[in-house]
Amino acid sequence: MTTAWRKSSRSSNGTSCVEVAFAGAGVATRDSKNPTGPTLRFSAQSWTGFLSEAKANRLSR
């Protein structure tokens, strides 16, 4: 089975972005510049919480 990776439409130059894929009950992320490199996996609950914080502009830099 092939994983369907998606790149953000907000990527400024089209090459430097984080990609996400729905993986089982969670979400996987990877660096679009290194598609064969490591991935980070998050539970659906953690991913939803992250998105809520990002949309509310409450993430620390």
pLDDT tens digit string along 21-46? Answer: 998 889 999 988 888 999 999 999 99
Say what percent of the chain tops pLDDT 90.
43
The sign of the dihedral angle between the CA atoms of 6, 10, 15, 16 is negative
Q: Specify the pTM.
A: 0.74
Q: In what order do the strands lie in the sheet with 6-7?
A: 6-7, 18-23, 26-31, 40-43
Task: Name all contacts of 31-35 with Cβ < 8 Å and 24+ positions apart.
Answer: 32/7, 35/5
Q: Say how many C-beta atoms besides its own lie within 10 A of residue 7's C-beta.
A: 14
Task: Check whether 59 has a pLDDT greater than 90.
Answer: no
